[in-house]
Amino acid sequence: MAKTIIFLGAPGAGKGTQAQRLSEEKGFIQVSTGDILRANVKNKTELGKKAKEYMEAGQLVPDELIISMIENELRKLEGKDIILDGFPRTVKQAEALEDLLKKLGRSLDYVILFDVSDEEVIKRITGRRIDPKTGKVYHVIYNPPPADVEVIQREDDKKEVVKKRLEVYHSQTAPLIDYYEKKGILVRIDASTDPNKVYEELIKVIG
């Protein structure tokens, strides 16, 4: 039976890094709602055209539209192990996802929460620097740029912005954590340690 996992965690918790490794080493496919939405808009699908209207009006794309896009994507991935990243963001979306998975004959195996403190997130994100010429990403503490490379800090990596993103994350995700904990499928992994250690924990969980 194909596995379905959800990754939860603050921005900068390392979800992307772990998803990438899981797909490279274990063949999981990362389903990112952001990517699906962009692809639908770019390819001018019926759903993409509708979504674009909302986006251009500065409104959030309705859950029904997002769910329909995810459904189309998951139908293509029948029999494959998947990681859902960036969805669900609210309990209402979690309930809609549950109905969708039932309809597709999938069950939700695990919800992995990458646990990391706000202080650590701020340190990780605000320390990022980018070489605008090559797009290469450095970090002032963990991976400093060479002396001869001119780097910049992206706007959304600045402290005020990161704090705002964390506020949104906590207000949206706290109810989800509670929701999945009650269902008994939430697993917390300490994401403040070395990425290799985090990956080892992840493999222990999903088997």
**Active-site residues: which are they?**
15, 89, 128, 154, 165
Which residues are 113's β-sheet partners? 8, 188
SS (H, E, C) 22-57: HHHHHCCEEEEHHHHHHHHHHCCCHHHHHHHHHHHC
Q: Residue 2: count other Cβ atoms within 10 Å of its Cβ.
A: 16
- Angle, helices 118-126 vs 159-183, to 10°: value is 140
> Do the Cβ atoms of 135 and 151 come closer than 8 Å?
no
Q: How far out from the chain centre does Cα 133 lie?
A: 27
Cβ atoms of residues 126 and 157 within 8 Å: yes
Q: Is 135 left (phi over 0), alpha (psi -120 to 50) or beta?
A: left
- Tally of CB atoms within 10 A around 125: 22
The strand pairing partners of 85, in sequence order, are 7, 32
Helix axes 159-183 and 91-103, enclosed angle (nearest 10): 50
